[in-house]
Amino acid sequence: MDKIEISLTINETPYQMRVLPNDTLLEVLRNQLDLTGSKEGCDEGVCGSCTVHMDGKPVRACLTLALEARGRKIKTVEGLATGDALSDLQQSFIDHGAVQCGFCTPGMLMAGEALLSTTPGPDEQTIRRALSGNICRCTGYAKIVTAVAHAGNPQAPCPDCRTQTPYLQAKE
Amino acid sequence: MRLPRFEYLGPKTLEGALDLMATHRDDAKILAGGTDLLVRMKKGLIRPKTIISLKALDELAYIKRDTRENRNNILIGGRTLIADIIASDLVQRKAPALSRACERIGAITLQHFVGTLAGNILQDNRCWHYNQSQFHRSGRGACHKDGGKICYARQDSDRCNSTCQSDGATALMALNASITLQRKGGRRRVDLADFYTNDGIAPHAIESHELLTQICIPIQGGQSAYKRLSYRSAIDYPLVCAGVLLIPSTASPTEISEARIVVGAMGRSPLYMAAASASLGGKKLDDTDAFQKAGKAAMDTAATFAVHNVGSTLEYRYAMVAEMVFQALTEAGEAARETGQKAANKGVQ
């Protein structure tokens, strides 16, 4: 059982590496590439904190073999921001205080991003369904849902959106 | 948790996959989505030497309608993703129970893009006492499913009482589905009802060199529905689930000519409720009383099989069998009356 040479495209950077058949994508990301944004929570597909995008679709990195990701386009939470500029969703998470301990945040961001890329302006039920695969043990779900709903879509009556005037101005 | 070591094989064609399965037999396991397999491997419940991945077998990913030679079936390939089944208009219209069941498998945005319906049918039976970490299991003697002689779910039980918690299987059995098992040099077709062995240790009548390549759902007219109860709305297995199919009679469209009630997560296999189903013959599509009686009858049958090993109390799960069956029947009955009404209106015009 030797290591196998694979090529992965992670956050638009191509990588060549050697992996064992029993390496999961999460282990490769965290241990070989130091992309520690994706978290290892339950490691059995229940908590969703390891969520990454594979060809634009959200998957559990802990239940994906690195070999199965061969030739796929992977996007992790590190790939959401462009340089120092945060994505709308990330900024919205900060504005709405949707981050408590932060462990579930990478998974929530990736699940939220996948939803927003297919359904712009989702309603609450759609968001809750989309995030139903992710657990937040601080139980701050309300703020996370609001953050996704208001991402790139600031609402005037929302105090969290309103206090971020520079952000609103930048939007205008 | 590290995965144990294994050899990875990724055949490019179905022929290639069947060849490999014939060579490796019991040493190999099939990897489609991995939601069930990889978790069991991480917990040390199985240690396959070889993993045969179906990733490249796009020929097995399809949903189509088969109308050759007067047949009227929905055919679903063995590697069709759950997300594709949920999105399918054909399944939504002709087999709504399957659509509902698929929506409840795992979580809606996760794993649906890699998980397959065939994998859901073939998911191993579960038990509180068995699906535990290696460390937990090392603290006590091995249970029947783990190769020992003890059952922790039911005292002094001479057999394994693990529970089949597959959403897909329950819905598909209600829809009278059959599956095609292919091996090198041959294939066989099995009714899903015969596929489940009622044996907790080896719950499926499948050989190690056979691959589930196709699921066939007959389009029979009538309406189906699926109801499920679980702790969480996502990433959870059902505590009780029920799939039903109601076919109105052609002579009087408000009456039921045939009913199929299947209850899942209560036994070692999905349970087809013969008596409860038969009791609905000739009843009206909105006969709430008959639906309630059928629910009670299903509850009585299910109570003989269930053991306390998936969560909640047994009494509650019994009561919920009646409720889930009743809700599913009501929903299917309503839908059938609506379609009957529409057909009648068309006739008038």
Average pLDDT for chain B: 93
Geometric angle at alpha carbon B189, from B257 and B11, rounded to 5°: 135
Confidence label for B251 from pLDDT (cuts 50, 70 and 90): confident
- Find all residues with CB under 8 Å of B166, minimum gap 6, and list them: B120, B121, B123, B264, B270
d(CA B93, CA B90) in angstroms, rounded, equals: 5
**Residue A132 sits at the chain B interface (C-beta within 8 Å):** yes
Average pLDDT for chain A: 90
Per-residue pLDDT, B68: 85
Residues of chain B with CATH 3.30.465.10: 61-120+164-348
pLDDT digits (tens, 9 = 90+) for B102-150: 999 988 766 678 899 999 999 999 999 999 999 999 999 999 999 999 9
| Chain B residues contacting A via beta carbons under 8 Å | 1-8, 10, 31, 34-35, 38-39, 42-43, 51, 53, 55, 83, 106-111, 113-114, 233-235
d(CA B342, CA B273) in angstroms, rounded, equals: 30
Whether A68 and A96 share a structural domain = no
Cβ–Cβ gap B43/A44 under 8 Å: yes
Question: Over pLDDT 90: what percentage of chain B?
Answer: 86
Strand partners, B204: B196
Is pLDDT of B252 > 90? no
Whether A106 and A70 share a structural domain = no
pLDDT digits (tens, 9 = 90+) for B264-304: 999 999 999 999 999 999 999 999 999 999 999 999 999 99
Confidence label for A11 from pLDDT (cuts 50, 70 and 90): very high
Structure-block tokens of residue A102: 């932060």
Per-residue pLDDT, A172: 54
Q: Three-state SS for B228?
A: strand
Per-residue pLDDT, B163: 96
Per-residue pLDDT, A170: 57
d(CA B127, CA A115) in angstroms, rounded, equals: 34
Cβ–Cβ gap A65/B113 under 8 Å: no
Whether A13 and A69 share a structural domain = yes
d(CA B180, CA B214) in angstroms, rounded, equals: 5
Q: Closest approach of chain B CAs to the CA of A46, in angstroms? A: 6
Q: Quick count: other Cβ atoms within 10 Å of Cβ A44?
A: 18
Per-residue pLDDT, A164: 55
Question: Nearest residue on chain A to B132, judged by CA atoms?
Answer: A44
DSSP H or E run through B343: helix B314-348
Range of the domain at A149: 88-162
DSSP H or E run through B77: strand B73-77
pLDDT digits (tens, 9 = 90+) for B190-213: 999 999 999 999 999 999 999 999
d(CA A25, CA A4) in angstroms, rounded, equals: 14
Per-residue pLDDT, A161: 80
Whether A149 and A114 share a structural domain = yes
Q: What is the DSSP letter of B196?
A: B
- Find all residues with CB under 8 Å of B69, minimum gap 6, and list them: none
d(CA B264, CA B170) in angstroms, rounded, equals: 5
CB contacts under 8 A, A 141-160 vs B, are: none
**Residue A4 sits at the chain B interface (C-beta within 8 Å):** yes
Question: Which of A22, A55, A79 is the last residue in one of the domains?
Answer: A79
Please give the average per-residue pLDDT across A121-138, as a whole number: 92
d(CA B167, CA B227) in angstroms, rounded, equals: 10
Per-residue pLDDT, A155: 83
Per-residue pLDDT, A51: 94
Architecture of domain B61-120+164-348: 2-Layer Sandwich (3.30)
Confidence label for A153 from pLDDT (cuts 50, 70 and 90): confident
Question: Nearest residue on chain B to A42, judged by CA atoms?
Answer: B1
Residues of chain B with CATH 3.30.43.10: 1-57
Whether A118 and A52 share a structural domain = no
Tokens 């948790």 correspond to: B1
Across the A:B interface, residue pairs with CB atoms under 8 Å apart total: 94
d(CA B6, CA B58) in angstroms, rounded, equals: 24
Pick from A24, A57, A114: CB nearest B3:
A24
Is pLDDT of B334 > 90? yes
pLDDT digits (tens, 9 = 90+) for B172-183: 999 999 999 999
Residues of A in contact with B34 (CB under 8 A): 63-65, 68
d(CA B66, CA B72) in angstroms, rounded, equals: 6
Q: Is residue B188 within 8 Å of residue B288, measured between CB atoms?
A: no
Per-residue pLDDT, A171: 56
Please give the average per-residue pLDDT across A89-94, as a whole number: 92
Please give the average per-residue pLDDT across A103-112, as a whole number: 95
pLDDT digits (tens, 9 = 90+) for B58-99: 999 999 999 888 889 999 999 999 999 999 999 999 999 999
Instruction: Specify the CATH number for the domain of residue A51.
Output: 3.10.20.30
**What number does CATH give the domain B1-57?**
3.30.43.10
Per-residue pLDDT, B85: 95
Number of separate domains in chain A = 2
Whether A54 and A118 share a structural domain = no
Is pLDDT of A162 > 80? no
Q: Does residue A167 lie within any of the structural domains?
A: no
Q: Does residue A171 lie within any of the structural domains?
A: no
Instruction: Specify the CATH number for the domain of residue A127.
Output: 1.10.150.120
Cβ–Cβ gap B3/A115 under 8 Å: no
Residues of B in contact with A27 (CB under 8 A): 2
Q: Does residue A18 lie within any of the structural domains?
A: yes
Cβ–Cβ gap A64/B34 under 8 Å: yes
Whether A97 and A74 share a structural domain = no
d(CA B125, CA B176) in angstroms, rounded, equals: 21
Question: Which of A79, A104, A135 is the last residue in one of the domains?
Answer: A79
3-state SS track over A67-87: HHHCCCEEECHHHCCECCECC
State the alpha helices, DSSP H only, in chain A: 25-27, 88-95, 105-118, 124-130, 141-149, 159-163, 165-171
ipTM (interface predicted TM): 0.90
Question: Which of A23, A50, A79 is the last residue in one of the domains?
Answer: A79
Per-residue pLDDT, B67: 86
Whether A26 and A71 share a structural domain = yes
Would you give the distance in Å from CA A119 to the centre of its chain? 16
Per-residue pLDDT, B106: 86
pLDDT digits (tens, 9 = 90+) for B29-66: 999 989 899 999 999 999 999 999 999 999 999 999 99
Whether A102 and A72 share a structural domain = no
Q: Annotate B101-116 with b (16+ C-beta within 10 A) or e (fewer).
A: bbbbbbbbbbbbbbbb
Cβ–Cβ gap B113/A54 under 8 Å: yes
d(CA B99, CA B112) in angstroms, rounded, equals: 13
Confidence label for B349 from pLDDT (cuts 50, 70 and 90): low
Please give the average per-residue pLDDT across A147-153, as a whole number: 91
